[in-house]
Amino acid sequence: MGASPLQSGFLLLPVVVAQSLMAFFAGIFIHLTGKYLEPIRIGPVIMTVGVGLYVLFSPSSTTGMIVGFQILTGLGCGLLFEPPLLALQVFVPQQNVATASSTYNFVRTLGSAMYAIRGEIPLYISFKLPKNSFFSSAWKLISLIQNLIGRSPSEVSSCRTPWISE
């Protein structure tokens, strides 16, 4: 698409603004109606459609197309920002609301971080790493874990090769 770093930053505004506005309006909807499940049910549908339309992006995509799809994605994300927390708080005893809310936010933040890392792993694996670097040892650990997945306990306990040695 050939956007500069500044243009890329501006292209994030549609999704952020749409998400913020929709989270605000979802809160008003919940306050007026008392119904919190509807946004939770509709949000994933809108978000999935918006993100699914990203496959139509190409180097020749217009700015209007990019902004439109991002607004659609932001609308779906906004519906999922606050209503799940409100739903959690409804079903938790009053003395546990703070603990439940902080746990919810921690898990949501951890999930976001893990999702971002999961997308970067193939990129890092494709790099040629120095033989004695920290990352080469970490990738050896990852490959060992991948090799151990799906083996029986007897096969796993028989693995005696240290993963750090060269």
* Residue 73: CB atoms within 10 Å: 23
Give Cβ neighbours of residue 66 (< 8 Å, ≥ 6 apart): 1, 11, 14, 57
CA distance to 6, 21, 52, per residue, from 17 (Å): 17, 6, 20
pLDDT at 144: 66
pLDDT at 60: 84
Q: Are 61 and 1 in contact (CB under 8 A)?
A: yes
pLDDT at 11: 85
Check residues 39 and 115 and name the one with the higher pLDDT: 39
Contacts of the segment 81-85: beta carbons below 8 A, 24+ positions apart:
81/19, 81/22, 81/23, 81/26, 82/23, 82/26, 82/27, 82/30, 83/26, 83/30, 83/36, 83/37, 83/39, 83/40, 83/43, 84/40
Model pLDDT for residues 119-137, shown as the tens digit of each residue: 666 666 666 555 555 555 6
Check residues 155 and 74 and name the one with the higher pLDDT: 74
Q: Is a pLDDT exceeding 90 seen at residue 7?
A: no
Model pLDDT for residues 140-166, shown as the tens digit of each residue: 666 666 666 655 555 544 444 444 444
| Closest C-alpha to 24, from 112, 97, 69, 83 | 83
Check residues 152 and 3 and name the one with the higher pLDDT: 3
Over residues 31-40, the mean pLDDT reads: 91
Over residues 35-63, the mean pLDDT reads: 90
Q: What are 25's two structure tokens?
A: 């309006």
Left (φ > 0), alpha (ψ -120 to 50) or beta: where does 18 sit? alpha
Share of the chain above pLDDT 90, in %: 40
Q: Is a pLDDT exceeding 90 seen at residue 98?
A: yes
The ranges assigned to domains in the chain are: 5-91, 127-166
